[in-house]
Chain A
Amino acid sequence: MAMSEKAKEFNQLFKERLNRQHVLSLTACAHCGMCNDSCHYFLADNDPKMTPAAKADSIRGIYKGHYDWLGKIVPFWVGSRQVKTDEDLERLKDVVFGSCTGCRRCTINCPFGVDMAGIVSLTRSCLVDVEVAPEGVLTVMKDQWETGNQMAVSKEDYLETLEWLEEEVQMELDDADFKVPIDKEGSDFVFVINPREVKYAPLSLQAAFKIFHVAGLDWTMPSEGWDNTNFGLFSGKADLGGHMGNLAYNHAKQLGVNRMVISECGHGFLSTKWEAPNWGKANPLPFEMISILELMVDLINTGTIILDPKKNPLPVTYHDPCNLSRSSGLTEEPRFCLKRSCLDFREMIPNRADSYCCTGGGGAMSMAEYAKKRLSVAKKKADQIRETGAAIVTTACHNCVDGLSDLIKHYDLKYEINGKSMWLPVKNVCELVADAIVIPMELPKRKPRVKEIVKPVKVLVIDDQPDIVDYLEALLQDNGYEVITAHDGDEGIEKAKADRPDLITLDVSMPGKSGVTVFHELRNTPTFEDIPIFIVTGVVDFRQLMYQKTVEAPEGFMQKPINPEVFLMTVDRLTDRTRQKVAVEESGKPA
């Protein structure tokens, strides 16, 4: 059989990119099977093809086909194989993208230390270059190359969100002096973040800002190079990895900061602190890089911030993100913070470097085609969480927040509070620290700031569940919004045409026309282009809207059960521009 062009290119790239550590990992395995029980993909249903050794053999076989003495002469004897067709490449794609999150749990349990993440990354890089990769990964890579961030947030939107957050923190602290400094030269540190925080989950940013302000730190947000995430890591592409790192490093150099503080993001920390300086040949850098977890430990240790754990009375557990615990050694810092922020901290067993992956690592959240499998193998993690009996799950990674939120719904992990059964919320560590922080007496004496809604903005709520519609309608009306409701997709589109809302909240799972179809129809209708869409859903299908982006991604999303505080914050953020426009029209002054 003739070799396909893609297979030829793949084989060539595979040989070119092998380094010494790859070769050792591909040569050393003795098939002892000690790693088998370390992989959540295998533990979910004992599928023998899902053991780390079996998955590694898909790559090892290719290596043996090229280099192993016996592998070249009698391939079947040592399990060597060749990649000849596009189908072979597709099968390999399913292994390295769809069956491994690169969590390295097998690596630390291997008597040799076979680096599964290393060889998976090598293979991913070759597959990406022949364009055999999940659509979501390729789209996000393109966005990072073109816009400098993984969610294609424009500079205008980014700065507007920071401004809006500034107001939120002013309101929360009742202090008009609070400012989000942008590009403040000579600051002690620059704070680099995950675009998810800007686009969909600003609570962690708000929490971080609050901590920085109360601690009186000298900090700044960068106007560029602010994305700490890096699809160079998930795609194995060092050129993209280096590019993303250098965007952040170069801007930090221009600002002349002493430190770069990296927000709670597992792969963001791993790539920004450890990988990207090597990929982008950026060493040595003139500033130190630390995680916000390390910063918070320092603030607590020095008494710069005082915490009152009674403010977080519910039982809390912590999930160790793989890229922080196994690949960066950050296991104690989050515990240090949580034990001082919560009354009842409960360990997940096993934990630290032995923790199981949230199942959303390795870019899995952007791979819609593997979502079903991702959730099916999340059973081990779900059992771990259930056994803690915690009411709140914390983690120090936004990918993990998404992965855990999905599995909590899938496995129906609930906690009863005041007679109401609720799905467990997943929070970042800094959110609990910020909640526990004791505000110094002098802060409330500063100028108070009150935000006013000048004129009600109009929100269209589309959801098939009448109780959700009623709840959102009441919640929005109580907070000064004008509300229109629709109970299915067709009615939603009709009402959007008739009433021209300022914002649409949209459920994904609805009988008849699904939310995904409605979303595409709205996006493809020119008159609706400028109406922000806020996905409010209990299913995971919406992630393809965020990552694959056949049309522009939704401006907001939240998972059910609805947290009213987060819901209102998002509505407020998404309608902020409308409010400002109305204020200018009516009084000539911005709101």
Chain B
Amino acid sequence: MPAELNWHELMPFTHLLVHNLHYIALAFMVVAYTIKIWSILKKPAAREGTPAKGDHKKAIQYSFLLLARPDEMESTRKQWYRWIEFAVFHVAMAVGIAVAFTMPWAHEAMKGSFIVYFQQGIFGIAALIGISRLVRRITRADMRAISTPDDYFCLILLTLWMGSGVMNAPQTSEFWLLSYFSMATFFLFYVPFSKISHYICWPFMRYYMGKHFGHRGVYPKKRIAGA
């Protein structure tokens, strides 16, 4: 029987991290993101004044839903395994963040074996994906050419975070709790400055892309009868 983590006897720093610092970091991230979005939105958007050929609404929907349609883009159609990697990795990140904010107050409920195995499964796969992405980034010349130190750093840290998530899930050691939460807290402070903040741009990008291509009748892709 493995030892159980006693949440009432955490070291002072662990307690501060899990119950206070963690939320301060979240607040910091929200403020930083707000500033970032504001700095993007303060730039004037290019607008279309011509009569529309297509349907903006449908095209915007299509643009967003492409995320879930790997068959619609050549890049994901040909590299379907990378789309699966992307999907699992990002779901694992979302689960990781959810765990970081639910565990401090719902740790008892999260000791159930299904929840533990689920966390370990998804974090474990994500860690393996992280390693494979890192290997690809290091071994392929085209990936090295587009990689900055920030790219490597984020990938290594996220992979380690996922690994610590696997170890932390059964709540057996304060060391893994500390590892998991210190990395999560660091991310909350660091993310707005790093490439990981790309997801903040995604909805705006897909909106404008859908609107632009919809206006010009490119999206959604269509066929005319007899062609």
Chain A residues within CB distance 8 Å of chain B:
18-25, 27-38, 42, 46, 48-49, 51, 53-54, 57, 67, 69-70, 76-79, 107-115, 273-274, 277-278, 281, 283-284, 297, 326-329, 332-333, 335-336, 339, 350, 352-354
Contact = CB atoms under 8 A, between A and B. Distances in A.
Nearest to A335: B227
A51 B142 contact: yes
22 contacts: A20-B40, A20-B45, A20-B208, A21-B212, A28-B201, A30-B195, A33-B146, A37-B75, A38-B74, A54-B145, A77-B149, A78-B149, A108-B73, A111-B76, A113-B206, A277-B50, A278-B50, A283-B49, A284-B49, A328-B218, A332-B223, A333-B227
Given A31-B147, A274-B50, A329-B216, A24 B208 contact: yes
Interface string B69-82: 00001111011001
Contacts of A335: 227
A428 to B, nearest CB: 18
B226 A336 contact: yes
Contacts of A24: 40, 201, 204-205, 208
B195 to A, nearest CB: 6
A49 B43 contact: no
Interface in B86-136: 86, 136
Nearest to B220: A329
A16 to B, nearest CB: 11
Given A19-B44, A34-B82, A69 B193 contact: yes
A28 B148 contact: no
Contacts of A113: 63, 205-206, 208-209
**Pairs of residues from A and B, 4 with the lowest C-beta to C-beta distance, nearest first:** A329-B217, A113-B209, A283-B49, A332-B227
Contacts of A114: 205
A72 B136 CA distance: 29
B4 interface: no
A258 to B, nearest CB: 14
A67 B35 CA distance: 12
A48 B145 contact: yes
A70 B150 contact: yes
Interface of B: 39-41, 43-51, 53-54, 63, 67, 73-76, 78-79, 82, 86, 136, 140-151, 192-195, 198, 201-202, 204-206, 208-209, 212-213, 216-218, 221-224, 226-227
A48 B195 CA distance: 21
B226 A77 contact: no
Contacts of A284: 49, 51
A34 B218 contact: no
A354 B76 CA distance: 13
A340 B142 CA distance: 44
B118 to A, nearest CB: 26
A112 B206 contact: yes
B205 A112 contact: yes
B46 A19 contact: yes
Contacts of A273: 50
Contacts of B73: 108-109, 111
B218 A353 contact: yes
**Interface residues of B: mostly helix, strand, loop or mixed?**
helix
A274 B206 CA distance: 20
Contacts of A29: 195, 198
B146 A23 contact: no
B227 A339 contact: yes
Nearest to B145: A48
Contact of B148 (A22, A77, A110): A77
Contact of A54 (B43, B146, B216): B146
B202 A28 contact: yes
A20 B46 contact: yes
Nearest to A34: B75
A354 B73 CA distance: 9
B142 A42 contact: yes
A32 B87 CA distance: 13
Contacts of A112: 198, 201-202, 205-206
Nearest to A288: B51
A100 B82 CA distance: 26
A103 to B, nearest CB: 13
A71 to B, nearest CB: 9
A36 B136 CA distance: 13
Contacts of A30: 195, 198
A115 B217 contact: no
A49 B146 CA distance: 8
A57 B146 contact: yes
A469 B51 CA distance: 54
Contacts of B79: 34, 37
Q: For A33, A76, A335, which residue has the most chain B Cβ atoms within 10 angstroms?
A: A33
A114 B222 CA distance: 22
Contact of A70 (B63, B193, B213): B193
Given A54-B145, A109-B74, A111-B75, 7 more contacts: A20-B46, A24-B205, A28-B201, A35-B75, A53-B146, A329-B222, A336-B226
B227 A336 contact: yes
A408 to B, nearest CB: 25
